[in-house]
Structure 1
Amino acid sequence: MGQTAAADIATISRISAVPAVLQVIGELTGLRFAAVARVIDNTWIACAVLDRLDYGVQVGDELQLVSTLSDEIRRGQQSVVIDKVSEDPLSRDHPFESYIAVPILRTDGRFFGTLCALDPDPAPLKSSTIRSTMESFARMLSLQIETEENLQRTEAASIKERKTTELREQFIAVLGHDLRNPLFAISAGAEMLLRKVKDPANEQRARHILTSARRATKLVDDVLDFARGSLGRGIPVNIEPCPDLGDVLRHVIAEIQSIHPKRIIQSSIGDLSDIHCDRERVAQLLSNLLANAVVHGDPDGAVEVSAQVKNGHFVLSVKNQGLIAEDALPHLFQPYSRPTGGTPQAGLGLGLYIASQIAQSHGGKLEVESTEPQGTTFTFSLPPRT
């Protein structure tokens, strides 16, 4: 692998949103292999990989699987979408059935590589929503590649800061608009189908579409919150009186309980009528902490939720009977970090990071304590308004 390829791989590795992009593509399309590939001459090199098929492709490997199809993209600089490869006369010799790839073009129009996904099973990929979402991701990556390369070349701090700020705003704009809107359209269409369909089979399909769209929307929302936090803007909050905060928290607990009916969740919610906060963000914080406790805690132990006012401070805690390794504690609130133990969890590993950012945006703090035999307790504390 030459120096140019190594530099491009390093550039992609510095774009912290790439793992989340590949995760969302997998959720949206149902395809189990996704990658960002760099093309140099006639060689396609993996720069980032999500491999749920155990193909064994590593970062730096040549993507032999898709070289022929990718050549078509490079020549035409247009997307390639194939629902069923075995029925395509030009591509049927490939060892997979469904394939989608969009070109990643540099901001000056030069071809960088492809954003692609594939699977050995056929999949319906030819909707305009899937294509437009993939192309939005490719534009976002193009902007981020430009940002990273500029940061490496630019020595003047003022120039670097100005260009970085501009591209950060575009990055967040793409996430907030170009990606959420197609997912909203999918959800709305699925809800309409549910109201109209009569037979159980089609109803089940519509529910599956709706569930997948909502899961993908949640992933995009998490990435958007991550971008705001990590790019320096912070997660926005709307602080206001929340006399109904207790009911909001009880609703979150009931929602998590309905998803995990076999788990024991005990709660103690005090009088919170005088609290000022962003109720939606505090509910999101509790949801993230509670889901984390249910998934990673002792499945036979109870999860305890407490929300009280103590010495003027609002204190929200979630406790579970599980232990976090001591060496993992300093990294828990970093992006893509997951507690050890428990059942493997779908998602991006951003829940605790986002919870900590919500706490900071409120002027509060989120702390964790994990000891034996007490277990693990996450505590959000919010000082009184001054």
Structure 2
Amino acid sequence: MFYLILKFSKLLTKLFQTKLLNTRVDIKSDIETISRIPAVAHILEIVCKTTGMGFAAVARVTTEKWIACAVRDEINFGLVPGGELTLETTICNEIREHRQPVVIDHVAEDEHFANHHTPLTYGFQSYISIPIILKNGDFFGTLCAIDPKPAKLNNPTITGMFKMFADLIAFHLDAMEEIAESEERLQLEKETSELREQFIAILGHDLKNPVNAISNSSQLLNRMDLDYRGQRLVNIIHDSAFKMTGLIENMLDFASGRLGGGISLTRTHYSNLDTILDQVISEMQIISPERRLMANYDFKHPIYADGKRIAQLFGNLLANAVKYSPAEALIEIVADSDHNGFVLRVSNPGKPIPEEVIERLFQPFSRGEVSPDQKGLGLGLYISFEIAKAHGGTLSVSSCEEQTCFTLNIPAQ
């Protein structure tokens, strides 16, 4: 148990760290992401061939750094992916602030940039840089190109091409970010789900022994000569232990089904199941002696099933019928078998189940409308459905103003 608590604590820490890291700028990750976009290399090649410029790059521009993520260098400018320029020496730093394209055909003839420190520092005469803006509005960097010779860049064809390529790069970055976040969320959800189910399984095992001890002790006390008050207390203990045992079994089966691949069965051939079914009914009558239960059996054909699992399923259906029917209601149990298979029906009058509830009734933790004294985990019908499925059968429900009926159908084998 301590191990699971520690593991859960580590999982929460991992979740917090993941969210924290996602808020930071990870330059290395950005370079790797750009390198995984196949179109980038083709974009830089087209840019150079179309404009005649010798250097093109996709740059990551932050408040602190200018980093080359992808490069095509035909003029020996000297930058490679991961290479860095001093941020303040670049025009991209200005673009980060105003988020507008900068296009220069000929630096020496440009009124604004003729004496600008950037071309003086790096020795280029032609320059174009288009901002790359992500879907959330964040500024990623620029798609830029330079050359020591003048070039005809400031025209709709060239600027339109650059803007289209910048948008395409932004689209890929957004898509890859969404995929990465989805995979990360799925992994965290998987780990959380597995941890929760391990916790349920271990908790169930830890609870089983003391509950068995309580149940056995109540049975021993029941054999003693007790007064009315003592007998009443013993019945309360026995009733509570019975309910707790059912909850624990459902918890264990839920965890086993999720972690182990389904409900396990140990099948046997039965000429009939009346003893098993009567035992469940007797147990329910001890717990609820005032309730009216009527059973009719007609077994004409052997049944190949797991008797313990059938008893568990029947107990869940019977407890459900008692819980959701009026105190004076008659609960009817019908079981029969023939060459087609085994059928078990549990019917009770009561408030009809709404259609939208029926659609999810056999899902885990799903429950109908309940009163404050009808609380539970919502696993009984889910486990019953899984038991039916493990037998190759079905568990269905019909509900109307007259009655609600659950039907188990297991085909002959």
Q: TM-score range by the shorter chain?
A: 0.5 to 0.7
> Are the structure 2 counterparts of residues 144 and 355 from structure 1 closer, same or farther at C-alpha, using a change threshold of 3 Å?
farther
| Amino acid across the alignment from 1:240 | T
> Are the structure 2 counterparts of residues 169 and 196 from structure 1 closer, same or farther at C-alpha, using a change threshold of 3 Å?
same
Structure 2 residue ranges without an equivalent (≥5):
19-180
Aligned to 1:233: 261
- Please list, as runs of the form range in 1=range in 2, the aligned pairs for 1:258-297 lying within 5 A after superposition: 258-271=286-299, 274-297=302-325
Q: How big is the shift at 1:379?
A: 0.8
Task: Give the count of matched residue pairs.
Answer: 248
Aligned to 2:250: 222
Aligned to 1:331: 360
Q: How big is the shift at 1:308?
A: 1.4
| Amino acid across the alignment from 2:334 | S
Q: Secondary structure at the match of 1:305?
A: strand
Moved more, 201-210 or 219-228: 201-210
Aligned to 2:331: 303
> Are the structure 2 counterparts of residues 204 and 239 from structure 1 closer, same or farther at C-alpha, using a change threshold of 3 Å?
same
Quick check: 1:295–1:342 contact (8 Å CA) kept in 2? no
1:362 equivalent among 391, 394, 402: 391
1:341 & 1:161 partners in 2: Cα distance?
29
Q: In terms of Rg, which structure is larger?
A: 2
* Paired-residue identity, %: 40
Q: Secondary structure at the match of 2:299?
A: coil
1:252 and 2:271 aligned? no
2:206 equivalent among 170, 178, 193: 178
Quick check: 2:301–2:337 contact (8 Å CA) kept in 1? no
Aligned to 1:122: none
Structure 1 residue ranges without an equivalent (≥5):
1-135
Alignment RMSD (CA, Å): 4.0
Deviation per CA, 1:329-373: give whole Å up to 9, x if none.
112112233333678425322211111111112111111111244
Aligned to 1:99: none
Q: Secondary structure at the match of 1:340?
A: coil
Quick check: 1:275–1:314 contact (8 Å CA) kept in 2? yes
> Are the structure 2 counterparts of residues 372 and 237 from structure 1 closer, same or farther at C-alpha, using a change threshold of 3 Å?
same
Aligned to 2:374: 345
Quick check: 1:242–1:277 contact (8 Å CA) kept in 2? yes
1:301 & 1:173 partners in 2: Cα distance?
36
1:193 & 1:182 partners in 2: Cα distance?
16
1:232 & 1:336 partners in 2: Cα distance?
19
2:243 & 2:344 partners in 1: Cα distance?
26
1:146 & 1:273 partners in 2: Cα distance?
56
1:162 & 1:234 partners in 2: Cα distance?
18
2:342 equivalent among 310, 314, 325: 314
1:281 & 1:161 partners in 2: Cα distance?
31
Q: Secondary structure at the match of 2:388?
A: helix
1:149 & 1:273 partners in 2: Cα distance?
58
- Please list, as runs of the form range in 1=range in 2, the aligned pairs for 1:58-137 lying within 5 A after superposition: 136=1
Q: How big is the shift at 1:181?
A: 2.8
| Amino acid across the alignment from 1:243 | S
Q: How big is the shift at 1:141?
A: 4.5
Aligned to 1:376: 404
Quick check: 2:299–2:337 contact (8 Å CA) kept in 1? yes
> Are the structure 2 counterparts of residues 146 and 315 from structure 1 closer, same or farther at C-alpha, using a change threshold of 3 Å?
farther
Deviation per CA, 1:80-118: give whole Å up to 9, x if none.
xxxxxxxxxxxxxxxxxxxxxxxxxxxxxxxxxxxxxxx
Q: Secondary structure at the match of 1:307?
A: strand
Deviation per CA, 1:181-201: give whole Å up to 9, x if none.
343445556666777898887
Quick check: 1:264–1:301 contact (8 Å CA) kept in 2? yes
Q: Secondary structure at the match of 1:331?
A: coil
Taking structure 1 as the reference length, what is the TM-score of the superposition? 0.52
2:257 & 2:332 partners in 1: Cα distance?
28
Moved more, 254-263 or 234-243: 254-263
